[in-house]
Chains A and B, each alone.
Chain A
Amino acid sequence: MPDTTITLRRSLLRKDILVLVIALAVAAFAIVPGLGGDPLTISRSQSMGAIAVALVAACGLNLLAGYAGLVSLGQGAFVAIGAYVSAWALLETGLPWPVSLVVAIGASAAAGAVLSLAAARLSGPQVAMITLAFAVMVHRIFVELEMFGRLAGYPNVSNHDTSLLEPVTIGGTVLEPPLFAGTGPLVMLLVGALAVLSFVAYRNLAESAWGRSLRALATNEIVASHIGINPRRRKTAVFTVAAAFGGMAGTMQTQLQAHLQPESFTFTLSLSLIIMVILGGSGRLYGPVVGVLVLMTLEHSHAMQGIVEFQQENLSDTWFLSDEGLTGLLLILTLVFLPSGLAGGAQQLWHRWRAARTPAAATSGDEPALDIDEAPIDEAPIESVRQQVQGSSEHHAHAEVMRLTGVTHSFAGLKAVDDMQLSVRSGTIHALVGPNGAGKTTLVNLITGVYPLQGASRVEIRGADATGLAPHAIYQLGVARTFQTPQLFHGESALVNVMAGLDAKLGESFLATLLRLPKVRRLEAQARERAMGLLGTLGIEEHADVPAGELPYGLQRSVELARALASDPEFLILDEPAAGLNPSETYQLGTTLEAIAATGVAILLVEHDMSLVIRVADEVTCMERGARIYHGDAAGLQQDERVLAAYLGAGHVTIEGKGNQNA
């Protein structure tokens, strides 16, 4: 269906252009009135500049803290590094200003990369601690380093004979900073352009496969690695990118103020930035924009002063909260009343309003979609599954896709898996059953590389030795899986969740994503198209735009299945897909699984629901206490003494005979 792909591409392009035009218009609206240098507009220009700086820093922070869930309390440090390094490069090295800008951003990014050596291996609280420590330390360095003038600022009269940097020039035009009444602050044009460019770059990253991979990291690193993401590398990358945005903000600050003081970069700056992100809505595209505007407007408005005066008059003239304290209070209140921020709250209201307007779509998920006895099974979706999942059209009939031999695994000396063997063939469904605690999920985790294989354990996937590969490498071999409890990115729409499943297959380069080259837009359109198609074949396309967390459980399972199918897997592993489904949903699931297998996909089905297993499985393996006790067809399973004993108790099997019976 190339026609719809082209339409999609065009609409993506239109949206990109629209955003660019609006951003330019907003920047022009902010900047142009002050360009004349009218004394009355100087402070306005300064405020606009400060907003631009905060916006760029907050956008980078949102990628790190909001999208990737790594709450950094040290973004201010990267602003400081960018500011000081760009000032140094302009003053001491005589590099042309564009080069100094690149050098400064590079220095910030490098600092971020170094910090990520430790931070990318840590979890939430430790990341916050180490970034905060970093911010305080960087501030101290600029207070202490003689070459940056210490508290005298940089540059300063005693060392440099001037306290102001020379303004940059473009083609002979001097871009004066907004400092002197009567001089047109032309640097605002540069700052505005940099802010717009940064915002577009931020949006390009956030609304891309790369951005979706960050959300996956935030949800669960193990899940992320199963959709082809290398968690540590990606965390290092986002740390570096966030630091680069901070560095960009710093260079803008240098241009605006022409003089740097260490007290502009205290720990409070870092805290303000994270507050802006939270207040606006962390992990929302426009969250930082809203947060920066609201907080900076509040700080510059008379409201804050009014509150301070009110406290002084009515409570105490010594124990009162001024700007900083009120900001802290605002952060706590936001987390109490508006945990998803202003942008998130607005989005939720919008979804609720839309759900109220279309009651059918909102409720249909809660009731059983079909009653087996009454409704005939609709064959149409099955046929379209066949068309959709046409990954390898030239598969050999029932060729072996995965073979597992001699797999033994112990946790702290206790054997969880004991000399297991298993093979799954294309176009067939192999069910893995067994009582709770038999080691089924452990075995799946061994196949997909969650646990390292021990001893002589060996996994072969599509003829290649997959022993010792990490989950993201296993993914690239054409393996996809679902989890015992659906692991979706709850804040994101069902569509975005499904797209995340094939992102790692697209192989978009970071640079191409940053610049949103035409190729990226084409791939994005194709991904969207395919994800939409998969939602359609599973009969849930009307929920495509609903945040996954708001979907009923059964639909969440369907979305997760669609995500697994999105990467066009040759081998699909489903861990208890029927758990929590009602009988009619389970019946439909069986039909869907059969249709998927019919396209040549090999399916490993870990399942407790025996009616489903008996209906769809071509082969069944039963595990007990880590070992294989049955392998054969489903009918034989119900007759097998050892299986009955494993499930129902050893009442009719002698205990002594158990270990040595036929395999």
Chain B
Amino acid sequence: MDSVLVGLTLGGLYGLVALAFVLTFQTTRTLNFALGEFITAGGFLFLAIVALDVPAWLAVALAVVLIGLLGTVVERTVVRPFNSGPHDIRWLLTTAGLSLIMLDLLRNSQGSGTKALNGIGFDGFTSIAGTKVSTQFLLILVVAIGVTLALTWFTMRTTLGTIFRAVAEDRETASLMGLNPGLVALGAYAIAMTIAAAAGIMYSSEVGLSISTGQGLLVAGFAAAILGGLDSIPGALAGGIIYGVATVVATDWLGTAVGGVIGLVVTVIVLAVRPQGLLGRVVMEKV
């Protein structure tokens, strides 16, 4: 029971990372393989802004917005030119290359030690039904649920969200209606990278920040996103929670080695049975 609750709170974190993947995939059919470095960069940017004597809350806001803007730059320069159609997956390689570049820059400029993020987040634990869980992770879970609900509301209930859905469904027809799919892609990348940076800051305020912080979350984020179907906003959170609970429960019962593997094993089993993921849709290839 303890481990289920802990897994649940971790699942919120994984769900946030998965959401960042899902958002860009839904609208543009592309993913940012450098997402891990965006998560890390969010943390370091926060530290850099705080060092200028900016209040912590303002530093968080500035950091996530700036990383969001960086996301639009990446979409325009590293993704879009390498995405000419469904069979073109060069964007996958260019963003993976970008990941190497960003990681290297961070290593050279920030060193490889672990730094603490002070002044934000909660310390200590909260007791739920007799189980102690990290208050900060609880906050992340609440944020993850909040973001999922907000994004669901945004896409289902607002005009802009309707435009996002239209572009996600059929770019070509959307452009015939005067919608600019390029702008939607920029918007999706901005929101996704903002979420990634926020997740990075919240996570590292609890466990500290190093250049490999983001990469550590990448696997869980990938697995959670694919589990959910890569196409579904609630699916991302569901995938994250499944991954989180499975990992923590297996670690407690069977040790770290099994715990490290179990999430991916679950993912492989689910995909072998249901290639479109838990909440994804089936797309048929045409000739």
Contact = CB atoms under 8 A, between A and B. Distances in A.
B230 A126 contact: yes
B26 to A, nearest CB: 12
B96 A73 contact: yes
B108 A134 contact: no
B268 A117 contact: yes
Contacts of A402: none
A331 interface: yes
What is the interface residue range for chain A against chain B? 35 or more
Nearest to A321: B104
A79 B115 CA distance: 33
Contacts of A130: 222-223, 226, 264, 267-268, 271
B275 interface: yes
Contact of B285 (A220, A274, A327): A220
Nearest to B264: A137
Interface in B85-134: 89-90, 92-94, 96-101, 103-105, 107-109
Contacts of A335: 82, 90, 93-94, 97
A154 to B, nearest CB: 14
Interface in B56-106: 78, 81-82, 89-90, 92-94, 96-101, 103-105
A332 B33 CA distance: 13
Interface string A305-327: 00000000000001111111111
A118 B222 CA distance: 14
Contacts of A275: 97
A295 to B, nearest CB: 13
What is the interface residue range for chain B against chain A? 35 or more
Contacts of B99: 271, 328
A129 B145 CA distance: 24
Nearest to A223: B287
Contact of B271 (A122, A128, A268, A325): A122
A339 to B, nearest CB: 7
Given A271-B100, A332-B94, A141 B261 contact: yes
B151 interface: no
A114 B268 contact: yes
A454 interface: no
Contacts of A122: 226, 271, 275
Contacts of B230: 125-126
B166 to A, nearest CB: 20
Interface in A438-484: 445, 450, 483-484
Contact of B31 (A125, A323, A328, A332): A125
Contacts of B257: 141, 144-145
A132 interface: yes
A42 to B, nearest CB: 29
Interface of A is mostly: helix
B279 to A, nearest CB: 15
B256 interface: yes
Nearest to A332: B97
A197 B220 CA distance: 38
A126 B275 CA distance: 10
Contacts of A140: 260
Contact of A328 (B82, B98, B264, B267): B98
B4 interface: no
A196 interface: no
Given A319-B105, A329-B101, 11 more contacts: A121-B272, A122-B226, A128-B89, A140-B260, A222-B285, A324-B107, A325-B105, A326-B104, A327-B100, A335-B90, A335-B97
27 contacts: A73-B96, A114-B268, A121-B271, A122-B226, A125-B89, A128-B33, A129-B31, A130-B267, A132-B218, A132-B222, A144-B257, A220-B287, A318-B108, A319-B109, A320-B105, A321-B108, A324-B104, A324-B107, A325-B101, A325-B105, A328-B98, A331-B100, A332-B94, A335-B82, A335-B90, A445-B287, A487-B287
